[in-house]
Amino acid sequence: EAAVTQSPRNKVTVTGGNVTLSCRQTNSHNYMYWYRQDTGHGLRLIHYSYGAGNLQIGDVPDGYKATRTTQEDFFLLLELASPSQTSLYFCASSDRGRDEQYFGPGTRLTVL
């Protein structure tokens, strides 16, 4: 029933490792977003997308790539993970023309 799902829910990797975080939404929304949440910094936008094949840069994009393969699926890629990317990552979606965002359950990533 959950409209925004994320996988994995927890991930541990080592410095320099490759990580892919997945997000799927069944809201039929056009917009999808990736955020990270850190103590002292709050929620910050990494990348977002208007639709399949589209990618927009957010406020903290360095070290991250993203790809929107379908309307439903949005991926966040960390190709050379660093300890500074240890964080709680959230995916969200929103409808075109409306701004109410719906969040997934989050992925806790630890980079050792």
Partner 1 sequence: GQQVQQSPTSLVLQEGENAELQCNFSTSLNSMQWFYQRPGGSLISVFYNPSGTKQSGRLTSTTVIKERRSSLHISSSQITDSGTYLCAMRGSALGRLHFGAGTQLIVIP
Map tokens 């056009």 to a residue.
30
CA–CA distance, 89 with 17 (Å, rounded to integer): 17
Taking CB under 8 A as the criterion, the residue among 12, 28, 38, 43 binding partner 1 is 43
Taking CB under 8 A as the criterion, the residue among 33, 74, 75, 89 binding partner 1 is 33
- The answer to whether 11 contacts partner 1 (rule: CB under 8 A) is no
**C-alpha dihedral, 53 to 58 to 64 to 65, nearest 10°:** 10
- The answer to whether 99 contacts partner 1 (rule: CB under 8 A) is yes
Instruction: For the CB of residue 44, give the shortest distance to partner 1 in the complex, in Å.
Output: 8
Query: Which token pair is 71?
Result: 């309307």
DSSP β-ladder status, 10-13 and 107-111: parallel
Give Cα 9 to chain centroid, integer Å: 12
- The answer to whether 100 contacts partner 1 (rule: CB under 8 A) is yes
Taking CB under 8 A as the criterion, the residue among 45, 55, 60, 77 binding partner 1 is 45
Q: Report the interface residues with partner 1, using CB under 8 A.
A: 31, 33, 42-45, 48, 50, 58, 88, 90, 92, 94, 99-106, 108
